[in-house]
Amino acid sequence: MRDYYTVKINLPGGIASPGFLKEVLLAAWEANVRKVRFGSRQQMLMTVHYEVMRFLEKDLKNRGISYEVNGDQAPNILSSYCGEDVFRTGQWLVANEYHSVLDSIDYAPRLKINISDSNQSFTPFFTGNLNFITSPDPHFWYLYVRPKQSNAVFRWRELIYTNEIGKVAKAVEECMLDENLTEERALYQGVSERIHYISQPAVQELELPSFSLPYYEGFNRYESRTWLGLYRRDELFSVEFLLDICTLCLKTKIGEICVTPWKSMIIKGIEDQYRNQWSGILGKHNINVRHAANELAWQTEDHHDEGTILKNDLIRYFEKHDTRTFGLCFGIQTRPKSEVFSSVLIKKRPVLRIGQLAVFSQYDIYYTENFNPNSRRLLLFEKGLYKMQLAVQLERLCRRFNNKRLKEEMQIAPSEPEEVDTFTPTRYIHQCPDCLTVYDENFGDPVQNIPAGTSFDQLPQDYCCSMCGTGKSEMILVEEAIVAADF
């Protein structure tokens, strides 16, 4: 008999209402679960002792909450909604469109479905079996299909209308799983015979942005409000802390909590008047924010501590040696059938087995083509490494990536005119000591509707940093030349 069970709660699109999440957490608390984690497909995971498992199942059923035990027969729907508004603006895909897509999927998918905005680089595009990606035409989507147990991806020949995504996804799934149609032409014919849907020809190739993982932790300003990103080094969130978050969301009328594929959380729409209450919750539970960016760019397997421990060891090496990892994301795979999203992949490989037990293992390091984590092609960098050799070899690979990027930038950089020695008077600007954002009167602050030409002294007393909310009185006076040199 198992001592512990893994319970999975799907959060479609990585979106959970505070009320629903509170119900799940209360059931977990009654089952003596004190910590939970989030998976790479934006689902909630918890470990439950066998003695209380039947009580948890009864409680979840009474609350009308769907769940799975030790399985993933119904994978969670992954979406880029968690980054909507906070990491980009101005595109046609907004909150209502995401909800329309999710509402159209009115069944429990057996295949992995990804819903992605083509203009973002925060969530993966092709880790699903059915990958819907926005096209330049409003309300129409590309579909990229990856059959189960396959690494091959092909593009659907039509763009699919938003409200038809659920119907198409279900038909493709039935043809693939029930009729075993996986070849592109046969699958398209099978779906066409099964349903009719609104579409238009896919005449343009999909253009995706280069990968750049945005910083997703801490308090950050957007428009007139604040969003809060929460990351935990051990990937565990206490149930008490999450219950307090749900309660404050309900109190301050925040209707959604977002879970990211990086096993973190984002709470949007925090109004300035409640900012202190959110800070109070972090203080009450001793929650740290603003971890180093190179620590946030890692993916490990769901509910498996071995990869998390190795990740923390490698991060400590990077910090000690001041290794530059900007533009990369790292994944650790310790089990052969797991999948992690990364541009640099560390694979554990058993060398000697006794039965099912791996007695001796080594590690291989791969990187994706052009270091693009959305590429399905892996290239071998080093093979047969011991654990103690990993950090040094990863640092070598980081140097290779940085040199490659430098050469590319030099090739496209325009020639510069000869420098002429001229005297430039010293200018002073004000800088936030926390996030290093600057206020320059030549530009003002468009985010807070401060026009160019407004001196720092003319700013209202309640002015705060547009990025992190630090008050005006805490900003410091620095030379413009020093700020430029830092960057």
- State phi, psi for 274 to the nearest 5 degrees: -105, 5
C-alpha span between 242 and 208 (Å, rounded): 35
- Domain over 428-486 is classified CATH 2.60.40.10: no
For the chain, domain boundaries:
88-201, 295-412, 428-486
Indicate whether 1 pLDDT > 70: no
Structure tokens at 384: 């047969």
- State phi, psi for 416 to the nearest 5 degrees: -100, 145
Percent of the chain scoring above 70 in pLDDT: 93
pLDDT in tens, 81-94: 999 989 875 578 88
- Domain over 295-412 is classified CATH 3.40.50: no
Equal fold, 295-412 vs 428-486 = no
Are the C-beta atoms of residues 386 and 354 closer than 8 Å to each other?
no
Q: What is the sign, positive or negative, of the torsion defined by CA atoms of 288, 26, 20, 2? A: positive
pLDDT in tens, 202-248: 988 898 888 989 999 999 998 889 999 999 999 999 999 999 999 99
Give the list of residues 6+ apart from residue 38 with CB closer than 8 angstroms, or none. Answer: 44, 45, 235, 237, 259, 260, 263, 264, 265
pLDDT for res 486 = 47
Q: What is the pTM of this model?
A: 0.82
pLDDT in tens, 121-161: 999 999 999 999 999 999 999 999 999 888 889 999 999 99
pLDDT in tens, 420-465: 444 455 677 888 766 678 888 888 888 788 888 898 888 888 888 8
pLDDT for res 487 = 42
Identify the H or E element spanning 168. Answer: helix 165-177
pLDDT for res 485 = 47
Taking all residues of the chain, what is their mean pLDDT, rounded to a whole number?
Answer: 90
Indicate whether 304 pLDDT > 90: no
- What confidence category does residue 412 fall into, taking pLDDT thresholds of 50, 70 and 90? low
pLDDT in tens, 307-334: 999 999 999 999 999 999 999 999 999 9
Identify the H or E element spanning 385. Answer: strand 378-385
Indicate whether 478 pLDDT > 80: no
In total, the chain counts a number of residues equal to 487
